[in-house]
Amino acid sequence: MTATATVSTPAVTAAPPPRKRIWSYWRFYLALSPFYLLFAVFGLYPMVSTIVLAFQRWDGLSARRFTGLGNFAFLVKDPTFWQSLENTVVLFFMSTVPTLVLALVLAVMLQSAVRFTNVYRIAYFIPNVTSLVAMAIFFSSIFSTNFGLVNAALRSLGIPQQDWLGEPWGIKIAISTMIVWQWVGYNTLIYLAGLQAIPKEQYEAAKVDGAGAARTFFSITLPQLRPVVLFTVIMSTIGGLQTFTEPQVMVGNSGGTGQSGMTVVLFFYRAAFLDNDYGYAAAIALSIFALVLLFTAINWRIFRGRGEDR
Amino acid sequence: MELSRRTLLGGFAAIASGVAGSALAGCSSGMNNAGTTAKKNTATELTMWCWPGGLGKSVLTDTIAHFPDPKIKYSEIGGDFKQKLITTFNGGTSIPDITGLKGEDIASLLPQAQRFVDLKTLGADSILGDYLQWKVNQATTLDGKVIGLPIDVGPTALFYREDIFAAGGLPSDPAKVAEQLKTWDDFFAAGVQLKAKNPKALLVWDATDLYDMVVGQGTERYISKDNKFIGDQDHIRKAWDTSVKAMTLKIDGKTPSGGPDWNAGLDQGTVPAHIGAAWVASDIKSAVKTSVGKWRLAPTPSGPANFGGSFLAITKNAADPQKAFDVIKYMLSPDNEAKAFADAQIFPSAPAAYDKPQLTAADKFFGGQVPISVFGPAAKAIPVAYQSPYDDAVAAPFHDELKTVQTGAKTSDAAWSSAVSKAKAIAKRQGVQ
């Protein structure tokens, strides 16, 4: 009895039937399954079908035709695509840099404010939860040529009025102003959370050493905030490269004068839902994906910091 | 209590296979469904889709009451109507028996004629003559199938401020305006004259909008009936040059319609005129407060064009196409079209409606003028132009480039050649020669 037992036991542990092992965790798999099922239906299937569609011609109703790399070949030769790419990157810089700088300044100010802190926090966050379309309509009124608020202010200062939504650069300024307005509050709150996580002792030590406000900011606050900054930069990248509603409502589906408000996502929308060229739109969607990936990788490299562990 | 492993696994497998099955079903219908495989609707209900404001309210309630069996189930579909219709066609279920089709979408749906019932097979021949011929042609395929019965049309006219015209030394009476502003050149000359007296009043609200009007006055557009690109030819160049002329004469207000500047300018007199379809009347009416009664209507210089105007179509999924046809025939009778006009300014597509009291009433907003006296003759005189399914996509570069001329970023010739080469590339991609 003992002999057989000692023989059979190692055999079981050495070569367990793999099926049984996996199935013995069924409860855990079951608990995890809702996410994966939903992901398969609403995430994976659309993604895979987008990739398949990028190699086909489809007008939405007729049968699909396989065209190989035809959509991509047209994409790289399409001047509108390159224009929209350039616009998107320019808009991204024009909106993200002021947003993050302003947010950081506001966060430091909020950190040191003593009264009504919560009121300010709510006030700064409100633009982020306001309907984007309502805001875009509001901003297009502010920037309108003859009866807009911005031009009224310029006139009262004796500066000639500008055709904000008619000039290529004016369109970009109007759109990025709106993005800044919407996202400053959100990033301020993220920075504020990061600021509150910095140990007080470091500031006290700096004070004892006689560091001024600027020195404290650049030597303690900013380095300690690095991971938070990385997070906000990546989130802004993903959001900024997908700018759509602002130009669509402010200057329309054409992207405005000289297509200077035409972002890649707006271009994608136009190809899919106005021109009914779904295969081409899928190819554009993949290029947006590649673009976001590229920019995130660049940001990661810049803000990850040197000398840190991977 | 613990569930048995077998039941749980069984349930799990059932859910999984159900999800996978439906995903695959969705996939296959998206991939292969060319319109004939989708199942028929049930005969217990007659479903009907249209967009908000697409049909007159009183006409709708009356029609629903008039056809109790099967009961009409009307759904108002907001948002991008065409997109939702296409998605539903691809899904293969819940396709409406009757659906509205917008005028701007009809050209791209004609190649999908197999999804709709040819109204001629239901006896439409007897009533098609009641509607404007050019409008019926828009819903007719090249091989003669008629897929939609016209709901409304959008004939254009010149809307203008009588007081501003009079103060600027221009004729202000509609008859005199019609007589003097016959062509675009007359119109521009009047614009220059008005600007000299009143520098703030620019007669052309937006030159790039004007371009579309001029294209719409022609008998050809960007792509010919035999599928050749003709956007680089004289008729388009003429429209282009007309628009550029308004810019160079500096009578271009650069105020796109519908924007805040346009709304405010109508009342303040900086937008003293607008050329637009009949439905623009309601936009102007809702935009202005103080200039009520000062607006007048005159024929479009150089002839009318059409903007907008929609159709009712019967899908192949309809359980009882004949019944559905009876419904749309009733709904779009000249009497009911006149009612729809009184309901929501839906301009009738049947000329017989133009004599009904709802249309011949004088409009206080237009100083007692009868709008139909301008729109009626315009609707009958609209030129017929073949519109290709790819017309909109090909037209886009022309609009984009014209805007660069408007802001002075490019010369007219440079913008033109860039527009033509972009349009050619788009046309070529769509299989146009």
DSSP string, A181-203: HHHHHHHHHHHHHHHHTS-HHHH
Look at residue B22 and tell me whether its pLDDT is greater than 70: no
Compute the average pLDDT of residues A166-195.
Answer: 91
CB atoms within 10 A of CB B342: 16
CA angle A70, A76, A77 (to 5 degrees): 90
Does the distance separating the beta carbons of A49 and B27 come in below 8 Å? yes
Statement to judge: residues B248 and B395 lie in one domain: yes
Work out the pLDDT band at B386, boundaries 50, 70, 90.
confident
CB atoms within 10 A of CB B356: 19
Tokens 């007081």 found at: B163
Q: For B95, list phi and psi in degrees, rounded to 5.
A: -75, 130
Statement to judge: residues B76 and B139 lie in one domain: yes
Picking from B34, B400, B422, the nearest residue to A254 by CB comes out as: B400
| Enclosing H/E stretch for B158 | strand B156-161
CB atoms within 10 A of CB A82: 12
d(CA B23, CA A38): 11
Look at residue B401 and tell me whether its pLDDT is greater than 50: yes
- According to DSSP, the residues that pair with A66 across neighbouring strands are A56
Compute the average pLDDT of residues B106-129.
Answer: 92
Work out the pLDDT band at B8, boundaries 50, 70, 90.
very low
Provide the 8-state DSSP code for A257: G
* Residue B60 in domain: yes
* Residue B368 in domain: no
Statement to judge: residues B412 and B394 lie in one domain: yes
Does the distance separating the beta carbons of B112 and A61 come in below 8 Å? yes
Q: What predicted TM-score, i.e. pTM, was given to this entire model?
A: 0.80
Compute the average pLDDT of residues B277-289.
Answer: 91
Instruction: Tell me the per-residue pLDDT of B45-103, one tens digit each, with 9 for 90 and over.
Output: 899 999 998 898 999 999 999 999 889 999 999 888 998 999 899 888 889 999 999 98
* Residue B263 in domain: yes
* Residue B373 in domain: no
Q: What pLDDT score was predicted for residue A258? A: 79
Q: For A120, list phi and psi in degrees, rounded to 5.
A: -65, -45
Q: What pLDDT score was predicted for residue A56? A: 93
Q: Which residue of B has its CA nearest to A81?
A: B422
Compute the average pLDDT of residues B215-219.
Answer: 94
* Residue B375 in domain: no
Does the distance separating the beta carbons of B260 and A61 come in below 8 Å? no
Statement to judge: residues B104 and B120 lie in one domain: yes
Provide the 8-state DSSP code for B204: B
d(CA B222, CA B237): 11
ipTM of the complex as predicted: 0.76
Statement to judge: residues B284 and B240 lie in one domain: yes
Crossing angle of the two packed helices A70-77 and A278-303, in degrees rounded to 10: 70
Statement to judge: residues B136 and B60 lie in one domain: yes
Q: Kindly list the residues from chain A whose CB atom is less than 8 angstroms away from the CB atom of residue B396.
A: 254, 270
Instruction: Tell me the per-residue pLDDT of A15-60, one tens digit each, with 9 for 90 and over.
Output: 555 566 778 888 888 999 999 999 999 999 999 999 999 999 988 8
Pairing state of beta strands B273-277 and B156-161?
Answer: antiparallel
Q: How far is B390 from chain A (nearest CA, A)?
A: 7
Q: Which residue of A has its CA nearest to B401?
A: A258
Could you give the C-alpha distances from B301 to B157, B188, B195, B298, B371, in angstroms and in order? 8, 10, 19, 9, 17
- DSSP letters, B303-343, are ---B----EEEEBTT-S-HHHHHHHHHHHTSHHHHHHHHHH
d(CA B249, CA B226): 38
Q: How many beta-carbon pairs under 8 angstroms link A with B?
A: 102
Q: What pLDDT score was predicted for residue A20? A: 66
Q: Identify the CA nearest to B426 among candidates A68, A268, A253, A79.
A: A79
Statement to judge: residues B60 and B131 lie in one domain: yes
Q: What pLDDT score was predicted for residue A244? A: 92
Domain boundary among B363, B378, B407: B363
d(CA B268, CA B262): 10
* Residue B207 in domain: yes
Q: Tell me the two tokens of residue A26.
A: 């069924």
Q: Which residues contact A175 (CB under 8 A, 6 or more apart)?
A: A91, A95, A243, A246, A247, A250, A251, A261
Statement to judge: residues B143 and B205 lie in one domain: no
Q: Which of A256-260, B227-231, B396-400 has the lowest mean pLDDT?
A: A256-260
Please report the residues numbered 182 through 241 in chain A whose beta carbons come closer than 8 angstroms to any beta carbon of chain B.
none
Statement to judge: residues B128 and B261 lie in one domain: no
Q: How far is A90 from chain B (nearest CA, A)?
A: 19
Statement to judge: residues B41 and B123 lie in one domain: yes
* Residue B371 in domain: no
Q: How many domains does chain B have?
A: 2
Instruction: Tell me the per-residue pLDDT of A103-152, one tens digit each, with 9 for 90 and over.
Output: 999 998 888 877 888 888 888 888 888 888 888 888 888 988 888 899 99
Picking from B254, B409, B430, the nearest residue to A258 by CB comes out as: B409
CATH at B399: 3.40.190.10
- What amino acid is encoded at A200 in this protein? K
In b/e form, how buried is each residue of A97-122, taking b as 16+ CB within 10 angstroms?
Answer: ebbbebbbebbbebeeeeeeeeebbe
Question: What is the residue-averaged pLDDT of chain B?
Answer: 88
Work out the pLDDT band at A306, boundaries 50, 70, 90.
low
Q: How far is A300 from chain B (nearest CA, A)?
A: 36
Domain annotation for chain A: domains and CATH numbers = 79-260 (1.10.3720.10)
Q: Which domain holds residue B22?
A: 5-153+307-363
Measured between its terminal Cα atoms, the distance across chain B in Å is 73
Q: How far is B30 from chain A (nearest CA, A)?
A: 9
Q: What pLDDT score was predicted for residue A11? A: 46
Q: For B369, list phi and psi in degrees, rounded to 5.
A: -70, 150
Mutate which: B22, B317, B400, B428, vs A, most A CBs within 10 A: B400
Omega within 30 of 0 (cis) for the link into B70? yes
Q: Kindly list the residues from chain B whose CB atom is less than 8 angstroms away from the CB atom of residue A258.
A: 400, 403-404, 407, 409-410
Could you give the C-alpha distances from B137 to B143, B244, B284, in angstroms and in order? 11, 32, 30
Question: What is the residue-averaged pLDDT of chain A?
Answer: 86
Statement to judge: residues B60 and B174 lie in one domain: no
d(CA B206, CA B229): 27
- DSSP letters, B371-392, are THHHHHHHHHTPPP----TTHH
Statement to judge: residues B257 and B351 lie in one domain: no
CB atoms within 10 A of CB B269: 18
**Could you give the strand order of the β-sheet that contains B311-314, starting from the edge strand earlier in sequence?**
B71-76, B45-50, B98-101, B311-314, B149-150
Instruction: Tell me the per-residue pLDDT of B407-430, one tens digit each, with 9 for 90 and over.
Output: 888 999 999 999 999 999 989 988
Q: Which residue of A has its CA nearest to B393?
A: A275
d(CA B180, CA B169): 13
Q: Which residue of B has its CA nearest to A64?
A: B31
Establish if A274 touches chain B: CB-CB under 8 angstroms.
Answer: yes
Work out the pLDDT band at B119, boundaries 50, 70, 90.
very high
Does the distance separating the beta carbons of A275 and B259 come in below 8 Å? no
* Residue B369 in domain: no
